Structure 1
Amino acid sequence: MTTATSTARTTGANSPLAAVLRTETRLFLREPGSLFWILAFPTVLLTILGLIPSFREDDAALGGRSVIDLYVPVAVLLGMIMAGLQAMPPVLTGYRERGILRRMSATPVRPSALLTAQIALHGAASVGSALLAMAVGRMAFGVRLPGQPVGYLLALLLAVACVLALGATICALSRTTKASAAVGSVAYLVMMFTAGVWVPVQTMPGLLRRIVEATPFGAASQALDQAASGNWPDWAHLLVMAVWTAALGAAATRLFRWE
């Protein structure tokens, strides 16, 4: 029994997916630029905004909350946007452009293992960035932890799945690294606006807010803010994220080419 268990563990540890994941993790950790923009930049931006005295004061127009309370979910989403739209697409497109995916098809390691590893790696980095932003918001500026943790976690995971599906779609549509960087930059700017980086979604005019709430990150921003306030996220916002994730995931699967 002991021998069988040890063999199973060794087989799992030496599986193609595990080997690819280890390799991709080492490569990711050697990229200080990606580490900064995904893990550190959202929290740095949150800290800069938190140092503005007026942003820490409760405002009756915001339901008795401060601007910094609204920006913690925005910082959480910003890390995801960086991972899914700026970091992941150029990596995968570069592998395909250089023929790495084609050469992998002749080995026991399938190209799909590389795609799975990239999604898992950038998804984990997004969650790590979210936890860091929440921790700094709480310890440095007294921002309350989510009052509805289950709803917050659900909204967080849906947002991560949605941005990775969008990043995979960009990879599928882009034949070169330059093209993926260009498309990713346009999507990045749009998603930053809809996530409320420049203007919190809660303070947008009525019509604009309804339009933004139909986008994946507008809905995510609202869902995270509601869960942070102690309420269950609006099912309409969760549904918007789920529909976008399913649609983008289906498009990426259909359009993606290994070479």
Structure 2
Amino acid sequence: MTATTTHPGAAPTWRRVLAQTSFETRAILRNGEQLLVTIIVPVLVLVGLTRGTFVDLDTAGESRIDFLTPGILALAVMTSSFTSQAIASSFDRRNGVLRLLSTTPLGRGGLLAGKVLGVLGVEVVQIVVIGLTAVLLGWRPDPAGLGLALVAVVLGTGAFTSLALLVAGTLRAEAVLAVANLALIVLAVAGGVIIPASRLPGPLEHVALLLPSGALGEAMRETLLHGVLPPWSVVVLVAWTAALGWGAGRLFRWH
């Protein structure tokens, strides 16, 4: 049975999802705080770490910009698919927006699809802005790895969007605000995102490789520096997406 038959007079499912996708993307890009977190902060971190001398980095023979850009792109994926999405969804849930939208012809599935596609839309803007900034700073990625890097972005988006929905659907909005920002900072510093897991001290190296942050960071570095997508990163990201998606589906509260 088609969506149009189920909801007489309603637009086809794909048009409803596309409209919600457009709304989700514009809502993030028009919000000053979200824009700061998703685009401005990653760009400032990239420029600061590349041009600044206050941090001593072992780049393993790579230029600073080539070494840092993959991690900053991974960080950008995390800000949009996790931090931004978790905070926005939690306040929408508290204010009754999610419950209202889930009862419209869009439905819960269409709403979630619109959110995921909206995140991907924001990430396109992030990748263009950060990528152009990096190129102006001298970034020269491995051409063979560009397509594989996009695969890594999609895998990372799936894992972190699932985490965002799990957190947003189970915690109070105020708690999500604190948890999402704190988790982003911890993962960025000690989760294998900007700094490779192999450079982290002691057991943190092994822990980071099992986290979605470390898997995404490694995937972005390997694709953009060496043109290969590490199978272990794919396994970790797919496993986290499946586990977190299952948890979100079982525990998510719409009100």
Range into which the TM-score falls when normalised by the shorter chain: 0.7 to 0.9
Per-residue deviation at 1:145? 4.3
TM-score by length of 1: 0.82
- Structure 2 distance, partners of 1:140, 1:62, is 16
Gaps of 5+ in 2: 1-9
- Which letter maps to 2:251? L
Give the 3-state SS of the residue equivalent to 1:148 in structure 2.
helix
Give the aligned partner of residue 234 of structure 1.
230
Give the aligned partner of residue 48 of structure 2.
48
Find runs of 4+ consecutive structure 1 residues off by over 4 angstroms. Answer: 10-14, 53-56
Per-residue deviation at 1:106? 4.4
Give the 3-state SS of the residue equivalent to 1:141 in structure 2.
coil
Give the aligned partner of residue 92 of structure 2.
95
1:107 aligns to 2:104 (yes or no): yes
CA deviations on 1:1-44 (whole Å, 9 max, x unpaired) are xxxxxxxxx94599433333343344333312212221222122
Contact 2:86–2:180 at 8 Å: present in 1 too?
yes
- Structure 2 distance, partners of 1:64, 1:106, is 56
Give the aligned partner of residue 7 of structure 2.
none
* Map 1:1-259 → 2, pairs under 5 A: 11-12=11-12, 15-52=15-52, 62-174=59-171, 176-193=172-189, 194-197=191-194, 199-205=195-201, 207-259=203-255
Q: CA RMSD in A?
A: 2.8
Change in CA separation of 1:142 and 1:88 when aligned onto 2, cut-off 3 Å: closer
Gaps of 5+ in 1: 1-9
- Which letter maps to 1:123? L
Percent identity over the alignment is: 23
Change in CA separation of 1:172 and 1:233 when aligned onto 2, cut-off 3 Å: same
Larger mean CA deviation between 213-222 and 16-25 belongs to 16-25
Give the 3-state SS of the residue equivalent to 2:137 in structure 1.
helix
Give the 3-state SS of the residue equivalent to 2:67 in structure 1.
helix
